[in-house]
Structure 1
Amino acid sequence: MSRIHLVVLYGGQSAEHDVSCVTAAHVLAAVDPAKYRVTPIGISTSGEWMLSEGAQAALDAGPGALPSRLEVAGPAVSVGDIVAAGGAGAVTAEHDADRDIDHELTVVLPLLHGPLGEDGTVQGLLELANAVYVGSGVLGSALSMDKAMAKQVLAVNGIPQARFRAFGEHELTPGLPAEIAADLGLPCFVKPSNMGSSVGVTKAHDVEELRDAIDYALGYDEWVVVEEAITGREIEVAVLGGTSPEASGAGEIVPGEEFYTYEDKYVTDGAQLLIPAPLTPEQTTEVRDLAVRVFKTLRCDGLARIDFFLEEGAEGRPGRGFLCNEANTMPGFTPISMYPKLWQAAGVSYPELIDRLVDLAVARSQRRRRNTKH
C-alpha cells in the first residue's frame, strides 16, 4: 500500500502563530515515515505560503534533527499545487522527483489556531480544491470559532452555559459597559469573539476595567463576548470521531494565575493538568455525554476539545453543575497539551492519534463525495 502524502500546514496569520509552529514540530517528529511522506508548509503572519525546506531537511535527517519550533521560511508555493487532487508532488523539493507519487493519497493537516486558520476560511479553500483534510468542515469550524454565535446555538439547544452578552463594535455605546455590569455582575470576563488560547481575554472588576477590557478585545475582533464570572472548576473533555464521536475521560485545569491565561498555557507552565479529573463516576459520565452533545450540536468533526466550568454552589445557593465554556476545533496539540494527554490516558498514543485523525479525514471525504451530486 502506498504511503499517504501528509501536507502539514502551520503558522498562520493569527495571534496564535507561534503556538502553531511549536505544534507542527511535535507532529512532524511523531509521524511514522513508513506510513507518511510529509510536506511541511508554513503560512507567514502576512499570509504567504512557503515550502519549509529547513523542516524538510530535518525530517530527512531523522526526527531527532527537528527543532522545537518550526520556522516559516522557504520558497513560495501555490495553494492550488498543495491541495490539487493527485498533484502531491508539485510542492515537494527537487530530491523527491524520482519517488513514485502517482498513486499517493494527499491529506492536509491544518495545525492552525485562531482566525484565518481554525475559523472555516482555510477549510473553505480546501473544500473548493476537493482536498481531503483533518478536522471540522466550514460550518463547524466557523461556528465553534465564533464564541458569540456558538453560544447562541448552544442556548437554543438547551446546553447549559454561563450568562453572557455579545455585541459588535458598531453596537458599543457609552452606556453599554455599565448596563452589562448591572446585568451580569462584577467581576466578569471579556473576550474577542473570534480568538483562542485566551488571547485578548481580560477579567474586569469594575465598570472602568470593563470599558478598557472591551477596547482591548476589540483590538483582536470586531465582536466581543462578555460573560459572568463563574466560581468553579475548569473541566475539559477531548472528543474524537465523525458521525459517531467518542469522548475521552475528563481532565481538570488548575490555573497558576487568577484565570487560565495565555502565559499560563504556553509561557510559565504554571497550570496543573489533572488527568483524570477528580470527579465522581456520575459526574464523569455526565460531562462526557455533554461534550459529545456539544460536538454534534456545533457540527464538529475529527477532533475538538470541549471546555466546561463545574459550578458547585457557593454561599448557600445551589450551583448549576457543568456549564459549557467553548469548543476548540484545533485544540493545543503538543504531547503535553490536554487533548493528546487525555487520549493517552485512554490508551491512544500521540502517533496513533494522528493516524486516527487522518483515517477520519479520509472517511469524511468519502462520505461527502458520496452524498454530493456532481
Structure 2
Amino acid sequence: MDRQTVAVIFGGQSSEHVVSCMSVLNVANHVDKEKYNILLIGITEEGRWVKADSIESIENGAWRESKAQAFISPDATEQCALILENGAWEKVKIHVAFPVLHGLFGEDGTIQGLLELARIPYVGCGVLSSAVSMDKLYTKIIVDDLGVKQADYVAVRRHEVETAMDQAVERVEAKFSYPVFVKPSNAGSSRGVGKADDREELKAALTEAARHDSKILVEETIIGREIECAVFGGKDAEVKASGVGEILAAADFYDFDAKYYNAESKTVVNPELPGNATEEVRNAAVRIFKAVDGFGLSRVDFFVKENGQIVFNEINTMPGFTAISMYPMLWEAAGMDKAKLVQGLIDLAMHRYDK
C-alpha cells in the first residue's frame, strides 16, 4: 500500500512562532516514516507559506528562505496542498494534517477552519474549542458554569489602556489588592503576561498586554503550586488524563523567558500533592476539556493551594512539544512515548469526520 501523506504545519504569525519551530521537531521526528510521507509546510512570521525541504532546515532556520511555496487548498473535492516549485505547480494529496501551531492564527480556530473547509482530517481541537480555549475570557465564562474554582478577574479592553488608563486601573484597584497578574486574553506561552506590585507596574503591564491582544485579563494572585495535566481523546474515544506535573519556575513567575530560556526552571512529573488534589486536577481537566468540546489533545493548567484546593488557570489546545514541554513528558511517564503519542493523535484525527 502506498504511504499516506501527513502535512505538518508549523511556524505561524503569532508571538509563539519560535516555540512552534521547536515543537515541530519533536513531532516530525516521531512520525512513522514507514507509514507516512511528511510534507513540511512552514508559515513565516510575515505569513508567507513555504515548503520546508527537511527537518534540518527547520533546525537551522533555512526553511524561511525556501523558494517553494506551499498552500492548503480549501477545495473539499481535492484535499490537497498546492506546491509551486521551480515555476511548476503540483498537487499533493493530504491524508491528514498536523498543525503544530501555537497562539493566534494556529490555536484559535483559524487554521482549523481552513482544514474543515478542505475536509482534511487534522490533529487537535476543532474550530469552536480552539477559539474559546484560546480566549481566556471566554474560557472563564465556560468554566464558571462548571463550578470549578478559578482566579477572579477584571476584563480590560485595549481602547481603555489607550484612552482611559486611570479609570481602568481604578477598576482593578477597587476589586483587588496588589500584586495582580495581567494577561492578554488571546496569547500563549506567557507572551505579554506580567505581574504588577503597584500602580505604575500595573500600567506598564497593561500597556505590554495590549500589544498582544485587544482584550486583557487582570487576575487576583493565587498562592499555590503550578500544576499541569495532559488530556488525550475525544468524540467516541475515551478521554484520558495523564498524571500531573509541576512547574518550578526560576523567575518570579513562569513567563516566556523562564519557560524556554532559563535552565533553572524545572518540571517535576507526578509530584506529591496535598489531600486528593491529584485526582481532583485529573477529573477537572477532563471535565473542562469536554466542556469546551475538546478533541485530540489539550494541556490543562491549575494552581494547587497549600490546603489542597485546586484552582483552574487555563487550557492549551495545542500544547508545546518541545524538549522541555510538559504534555509529551506527562504521557511518557504514563507509558506512552512520543512515537506512540504522535501516532495516537494521527489515529484520532483520521476518525474526525466519522458519523
**TM-score, length-scaled by structure 2:** 0.91
Displacement of 1:89 in angstroms is 7.1
Change in Cα spacing, 1:69 to 1:22, as seen in structure 2 (3 Å) is farther
> In the alignment, which residue of structure 1 is the partner of 2:261?
267
> In the alignment, which residue of structure 1 is the partner of 2:333?
345
Displacement of 1:44 in angstroms is 0.9
Describe how 1:19-168 pairs up with structure 2 within 5 A: 19-53=19-53, 55=54, 58=56, 67=59, 71-81=63-73, 88=80, 90-91=82-83, 106-168=95-157
Moved more, 330-339 or 136-145: 330-339
1:272-324 per-residue CA deviation (whole Å, 9 max, x = no partner) reads 111112225732211100100111111211000000001225xxxxx7x1011
> In the alignment, which residue of structure 1 is the partner of 2:294?
300
Displacement of 1:356 in angstroms is 0.5
Describe how 1:1-16 pairs up with structure 2 within 5 A: 1-16=1-16
Instruction: Output the CA distance in 2 between the equivalents of 1:154 and 1:261.
Output: 24
Give the 3-state SS of the residue equivalent to 2:95 in structure 1: strand
> In the alignment, which residue of structure 2 is the partner of 1:356?
344
Alpha carbons 2:70, 2:82 under 8 Å: kept: no
Among 321, 332, 347, the alignment partner of 1:333 is 321
> In the alignment, which residue of structure 1 is the partner of 2:222?
230
Q: Which runs of 5+ in 1 are unaligned?
A: 59-64, 314-318
Instruction: Output the CA distance in 2 between the equivalents of 1:346 and 1:207.
Output: 45
Among 217, 238, 241, the alignment partner of 2:233 is 241
The alignment-based identity, stated in percent, is 43
Alpha carbons 1:190, 1:201 under 8 Å: kept: yes
Give the 3-state SS of the residue equivalent to 1:334 in structure 2: coil
Displacement of 1:125 in angstroms is 1.1
Instruction: Output the CA distance in 1 between the equivalents of 2:7 and 2:180.
Output: 41
Among 171, 183, 191, the alignment partner of 2:175 is 183
> In the alignment, which residue of structure 2 is the partner of 1:62?
none
Change in Cα spacing, 1:353 to 1:83, as seen in structure 2 (3 Å) is farther
> In the alignment, which residue of structure 2 is the partner of 1:290?
284
Report whether the alignment pairs 1:323 with 2:311: yes
Alpha carbons 2:67, 2:85 under 8 Å: kept: no
Alpha carbons 1:83, 1:129 under 8 Å: kept: yes
Alpha carbons 2:74, 2:115 under 8 Å: kept: no
Among 192, 202, 205, the alignment partner of 1:200 is 192
Displacement of 1:82 in angstroms is 8.4
Instruction: Output the CA distance in 2 between the equivalents of 1:80 and 1:112.
Output: 15
Change in Cα spacing, 1:85 to 1:277, as seen in structure 2 (3 Å) is farther
Alpha carbons 1:11, 1:72 under 8 Å: kept: no
Instruction: Output the CA distance in 2 between the equivalents of 1:68 and 1:323.
Output: 40
Moved more, 343-352 or 27-36: 27-36
Instruction: Output the CA distance in 2 between the equivalents of 1:328 and 1:85.
Output: 32
Change in Cα spacing, 1:362 to 1:138, as seen in structure 2 (3 Å) is same
Alpha carbons 2:68, 2:85 under 8 Å: kept: no
**TM-score, length-scaled by structure 1:** 0.86
Pairwise CA RMSD: 2.5
The size of the alignment, in residue pairs, is 348
Displacement of 1:84 in angstroms is 5.8
| Greater strand proportion | 2
What is the identity, as a one-letter code, of the residue corresponding to 1:18? V
Among 270, 284, 287, the alignment partner of 1:276 is 270
Instruction: Output the CA distance in 2 between the equivalents of 1:81 and 1:351.
Output: 28
Alpha carbons 1:335, 1:350 under 8 Å: kept: no
Instruction: Output the CA distance in 1 between the equivalents of 2:216 and 2:205.
Output: 10
Alpha carbons 2:9, 2:97 under 8 Å: kept: yes
Moved more, 67-76 or 237-246: 67-76
Displacement of 1:73 in angstroms is 3.2
Displacement of 1:81 in angstroms is 4.0
What is the identity, as a one-letter code, of the residue corresponding to 2:44? S
Alpha carbons 1:23, 1:333 under 8 Å: kept: yes
